[in-house]
């Protein structure tokens, strides 16, 4: 998949309100919903059925599920940060990733953030320290 197509698909979601477990362009999504929506734009259908998950970071039922899905559906990346990559982030001092985003350049990313919706943000040192995985769409 070309980086330009991934970035364009992610940018189309800018301004979409934050809604837990949603994945509807313009109406609402969470970080996983953003990735699901970009996947549908690129490939035409949902990548997989998504089990129910809690909004809180400490959801023991789905521990590791985000990384497992990334490993199953995406291609692991190494080397330099590049536009179009999917980033997984750890949050709240937890070991497992609980947030995801799409790089639009080596220093900027798009993600769905509670209270803000889908926004473009700087990949600050604080965000970069939390990266726990990098992938690309197949």
Helix (H, G, I), strand (E, B) or coil at 125: helix
Note the pLDDT tens digit of each residue in 115-138.
Answer: 999 999 999 999 999 999 999 999
Alpha carbon 16 to chain centroid distance? 14
Digitized pLDDT (tens) for each residue of the chain, 138 residues in all: 679 999 999 999 999 999 999 999 999 999 999 999 999 999 999 988 887 787 765 666 677 889 999 999 999 999 999 999 999 999 888 888 999 999 999 999 999 999 999 999 999 999 999 999 999 999
Domain boundaries, the chain: 3-136
Q: Which CATH class is domain 3-136?
A: alpha beta
Are 29 and 55 in contact, with CB atoms under 8 Å apart?
no
31-43 and 3-11 are packed helices; what angle lies between their axes, rounded to 10 degrees?
A: 130
Q: What's the CA gap between 36 and 13, in Å, rounded? A: 11
Per-residue buried b or exposed e for 96-114, using 16+ beta carbons within 10 Å of the residue's own CB:
bbbbbbbbbeeeebbbbee
What length is written for the chain?
Answer: 138
Give the residue among 38, 37, 64 at the shortest CA–CA distance from 51. Answer: 64
Q: What's the CA gap between 92 and 95, in Å, rounded? A: 9
């Amino acid at each position: 998949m070309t980086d330009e197509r991934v970035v364009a698909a992610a940018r189309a979601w800018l301004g979409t309100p934050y809604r837990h477990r949603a994945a509807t362009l313009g109406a609402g999504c969470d970080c996983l919903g953003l990735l699901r929506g970009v996947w549908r734009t690129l490939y035409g259908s949902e990548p997989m059925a998504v089990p129910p998950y809690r909004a809180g970071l400490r959801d023991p039922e789905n521990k590791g599920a985000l990384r497992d899905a990334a490993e199953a559906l995406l291609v692991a990346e190494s080397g330099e940060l590049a536009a179009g990559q999917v980033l997984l982030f750890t949050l709240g001092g937890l070991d497992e990733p609980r947030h995801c985003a799409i790089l639009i350049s080596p220093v900027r990313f798009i993600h769905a953030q509670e209270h803000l919706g889908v926004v473009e943000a700087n990949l600050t040192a604080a965000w970069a320290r939390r990266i726990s995985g990098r992938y690309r769409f197949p």
